[in-house]
Amino acid sequence: MSQPEQLPARPTIKSVARHAQVSYQTVSNALNAPERLRPDTLTRVLRAVEELGYRPTQAARNLRLQTTRLIGFRSTRSDGQGVSSIESRFLYALTSAARDRGYGVILFAADGDEDEIAMFEDLVSRGAVDGFVLSGSHRHDPRTAWLAEREVPFVSFGRPWEKTSFDYSWLDVDGHAGTVAATEHLAANGHRRIGFIGWPEGSEVGDDRYAGYLAAAADLGLPTRGLTVRGLDGIGAGTQLAAGLLGKAHPPTAFVCVSDAMAVGAMHAIEHRGLAVGRDVAVIGFDDSPLATVVQPAMSSVRQPLESIARRCVDLLLDRIDDPRSAVLTSVVEPTVIARGSSNPDHPSPPDGA
Amino acid sequence: MSQPEQLPARPTIKSVARHAQVSYQTVSNALNAPERLRPDTLTRVLRAVEELGYRPTQAARNLRLQTTRLIGFRSTRSDGQGVSSIESRFLYALTSAARDRGYGVILFAADGDEDEIAMFEDLVSRGAVDGFVLSGSHRHDPRTAWLAEREVPFVSFGRPWEKTSFDYSWLDVDGHAGTVAATEHLAANGHRRIGFIGWPEGSEVGDDRYAGYLAAAADLGLPTRGLTVRGLDGIGAGTQLAAGLLGKAHPPTAFVCVSDAMAVGAMHAIEHRGLAVGRDVAVIGFDDSPLATVVQPAMSSVRQPLESIARRCVDLLLDRIDDPRSAVLTSVVEPTVIARGSSNPDHPSPPDGA
DNA sequence: GTGTTTCATATGAACGTTCAAATGGATAGA
DNA sequence: TCTATCCATTTGAACGTTCATATGAAACAC
């Protein structure tokens, strides 16, 4: 904290103009319609811009252009159950993708749907954002209707789980295809008795993944009766559910799990039984969360291509922002199986000692 | 997508004025200096505001007030190792805290320090934010100097790990105090041989936590020789490190762990040895991540009060934004031990079956 | 009835941009 | 040499606020 030495004030378009000996509108033209300038003035102006480090003030362009170049996204309280690393990976991807298109992401905390809508209301009425990216769609989701009614541009990461009277753009990961791929992966490794550890019936995402497992098993002619268990998410729950199946007369030799936490639990149960994960019993999780690479052996998992989803969310949203009548697009992208030790017969259980 | 029925345009201060039969500046006064209005006009204007649902346009006030009411925060690529649930919990808390003070949080993706500074440059030169909240301070951190030099308001969550020629406000969790409390907690439960599972030497946070363990042990007259092991973070690593200690002649009866991932690994090793977590060998982790409640038995952990830290970060930052000469404040807040089954003698290992 | 005070409301200007339209100087055609 | 054409540049206005200041009506004292 030395003496109050004045920092140079942030340059405005006028100071650049003075510096380049032109009127300030010419500077504006240099930046927004360079073809209107004579080449020599253009370079002169651009050099002045460079020298002063001028960047147009956001607030002024916002006011003038009636836009904010900001996208709203809800920050979830990940406090509760579940390792929601998906959210944070998606958030990073979304932020990068937005930035590449010259947009920023403004985050808002909201606890439930109503709370989130209140935030929409606030942000929209103040003109603080150009649009929203939604996530975590679910049945009876009031958010989409609210936004559609007010013609606020938005895109949803997460499909609609029921019919709506309006259309909107959304992207989603094909959970069904994910568990199909997981099941096929295990079958390709020689497994015939493949179990499924899922969430209780009623969750859209969970039911979708379960259906994929059933479909793949039916397709491959594999048994499923007595091989599926469902319970609340968690490592402990996964352990208990897996232990239950392993204790049966004809236990599964592989598990498709609805989440990585369940899968870690299953690995735990397998080892507790003295079996080797990967060699004796294979496991595959879902989401490819940090958990997957932090366990030993590393866990196979179904990975959602969040980066490309985020990018496409931004693309779709900006299309709508640029032209509110732009086409409504929806697409389901397929996740990919990331094969690691937990589903690899050559990969033994972790060593016992140090 | 019905007919192009025109939505009512967003009300401006002028439309409110027309509606309330006053000039538009009176509306401004009603909102910003209500004591200047006669009570009856005030209510009339406020009713008009209410009826039209008027909210001042953000961009216009930004321009006029030379402020954005936006705080910048870096979104980390949590892609790599480690379950960085801390980040996302902090982010939620920060966003709520900011909102309570009328500020928003704008997120930006950055990969390293240089990249982050480039984002600072961008946001600051465009006047897109009023200040920053930093996180993840480390040795040779160039970010603080950059911001301080340009007199950009900021607050750091994370202490400076070296002397700087300038001062700035920061908050941090006292990792030292955290492991002291953890060690004391285990000692209070009757443990005498308490081991430590840490990160390799050289990480600021890890060394701090290690030092706390050593200090508490010395204070309590407990042995530490041959009871500490260090390695890269991870569940698998925790298992191996703990297994190493448990295999010794005089194994520890309790573990203080530098992270929850390490602690989960330790629990794993304990059970693998046929011992009961909590009853036979106690474990306590650090950070109280979702992992802690997802394992069985639930894991004791040292919890950082991220919510209050976020709130204080916002308070300090806004002080600086309001008055750049406001006092520089630093404070270290003590984390608290959250005792759960893994350090509770009455809590046995998980059931074997379903 | 005139002059002063007081208070509620209105006027003017500015924040920094961008866009539409006007200016003015050069070049070319008659 | 005078006018038409063209192009680079400038002028004017607007986006929606807030702040400083001016106006004007009522209330009061003389």
- Asked whether the predicted pLDDT for residue A114 surpasses 70, the reply is yes
Q: Which of A266, A207, A275 is nearest to A238 (CA)?
A: A266
Report chain D positions within 7 A of protein CB atoms. Answer: 7-12, 14-20
Q: Name the DSSP class of A17.
A: H
B85:A78 CB<8 A: yes
- A234 confidence band (pLDDT: 50, 70, 90): confident
DSSP output for B164-201:
-SS--EEEEE-HHHHHHHHHHHHHHTT--SEEEEEPPT
Distance between A68 CA and the closest CA of chain B, angstroms: 8
- Asked whether the predicted pLDDT for residue A353 surpasses 80, the reply is no
Footprint of strand C on the protein (CB under 7 A): A 12-14, 24-25, 28, 31-33, 54-57, 59-61, 63-65; B 22-26, 29, 36-38, 40-42, 60, 63-64, 66
- The secondary element (H helix, E strand) that includes residue A229 is strand A228-230
Calculate ∠ Cα B298-B301-B306, nearest 5°: 120
Report pLDDT for A11: 92
Return the sign of the alpha-carbon dihedral for residues A341, B86, A109, B65: negative
A235:B55 CB<8 A: no
Considering CB atoms only, which of B53, B166, B236 is closest to A295?
A: B236
B131 C-beta neighbours (distance < 10 Å), count? 23
Question: pLDDT digits over A183-209, tens only?
Answer: 999 999 999 999 999 999 998 899 999
B352 C-beta neighbours (distance < 10 Å), count? 12
Calculate ∠ Cα A275-A267-B259, nearest 5°: 125
Considering CB atoms only, which of B99, B109, B234 is closest to A108?
A: B99
Place of tokens 């002619």: A221
Mean pLDDT across A45-66: 95
- A3 confidence band (pLDDT: 50, 70, 90): very low
Angstrom CA distances, B2 to A151, A325, B5, stand at 12, 12, 8
H-assigned helices in A126-160: 142-149
Taking the mean position of all CA atoms in its chain, how far away is CA A146? Answer: 22
- The secondary element (H helix, E strand) that includes residue B48 is helix B39-52
- At a CB cut-off of 8 Å and minimum separation 6, what does B217 contact? B183, B194, B223, B224
Distance between CA atoms of residues A255 and A284, nearest Å: 6
Determine the length of chain A.
Answer: 354
- Asked whether the predicted pLDDT for residue A110 surpasses 60, the reply is yes
The gap between A32 CA and C20 C1' (Å) is 15
Instruction: State the nearest residue by CA to the C1' of D15.
Output: A64
CATH architecture of the domain with residue range A70-173+306-335: 3-Layer(aba) Sandwich (3.40)
Query: With the CA atoms of A329, A334, A335 and A336 taken in that order, what torsion angle do they form, in degrees rounded to the nearest 10?
Result: -150
Name the CATH superfamily housing domain B70-174+306-334.
Response regulator (3.40.50.2300)
Contact A178, A284 (CB under 8 A): no
Structure tokens at A270: 């397998």
Determine the length of chain B.
Answer: 354
Chain A residues with CB inside 8 Å of B75's CB?
88, 91-92, 95, 105
Report pLDDT for A78: 65
Report pLDDT for B348: 54
- At a CB cut-off of 8 Å and minimum separation 6, what does A110 contact? A74, A75, A116, A118, A119
Contact A101, A314 (CB under 8 A): yes
Distance between B308 CA and the closest CA of chain A, angstroms: 15
The gap between B38 CA and D30 C1' (Å) is 29
- At a CB cut-off of 8 Å and minimum separation 6, what does A138 contact? A158, A161, A204
Considering CB atoms only, which of A150, A241, A264 is closest to B7?
A: A150
State which CATH number among 2.60.40.3080, 3.40.50.720, 3.40.50.2300, 3.40.50.620 fits the domain covering A175-304+338-343.
Answer: 3.40.50.2300
Place of tokens 């959210």: A87
Q: Which of A127, A110, A128 is nearest to A119 (CA)?
A: A110
A354:B247 CB<8 A: yes
Report pLDDT for A349: 45
Q: Which of B133, B66, B65 is nearest to B98 (CA)?
A: B133
B95:A83 CB<8 A: no
CATH architecture of the domain with residue range A13-56: Orthogonal Bundle (1.10)
Over pLDDT 90: what percentage of chain A?
Answer: 79
- The secondary element (H helix, E strand) that includes residue B303 is strand B300-303
DSSP output for A69-126:
-EEEEEEP-TTSSS--HHHHHHHHHHHHHHHHTT-EEEEEE-SSHHHHHHHHHHHHHT
Fold agreement (B70-174+306-334, B175-304+338-343): yes
Of all residues in chain B, the one with the smallest CA distance to A148 is: B1
Chain B residues with CB inside 8 Å of A249's CB?
none
H-assigned helices in A189-259: 204-220, 235-246
Contact A209, A230 (CB under 8 A): no
B85:A82 CB<8 A: no
Strands, E assignment, B69-127: 70-75, 104-109
**Residues lower than pLDDT 70 in chain B:** 1-7, 78-85, 347-354
Taking the mean position of all CA atoms in its chain, how far away is CA B342? Answer: 25
Question: pLDDT digits over A287-309, tens only?
Answer: 998 778 777 788 999 999 999 99
Burial pattern A295-314, b for ≥16 Cβ within 10 A else e, equals bbbbbbbbbbebbebbbbbb
Place of tokens 């905390």: A109
Question: pLDDT digits over A246-292, tens only?
Answer: 999 999 999 999 999 899 999 989 988 989 999 999 999 999 987 78
Report pLDDT for B295: 78
Structure tokens at A139: 């049945």
Report pLDDT for B284: 98
Question: pLDDT digits over B195-209, tens only?
Answer: 999 999 998 899 999
A63 CB closer than 7 A to any strand D atom? yes
Instruction: State the nearest residue by CA to the C1' of C18.
Output: A64
Distance between CA atoms of residues A349 and B2, nearest Å: 60
Distance between CA atoms of residues B158 and B175, nearest Å: 11
Domain boundaries, chain B: 12-47, 70-174+306-334, 175-304+338-343
- Asked whether the predicted pLDDT for residue A129 surpasses 90, the reply is yes
* CA distance from start to end of chain A: 52
Of all residues in chain B, the one with the smallest CA distance to A67 is: B59
A59:B59 CB<8 A: yes
Strands A131-135 and A70-75: parallel
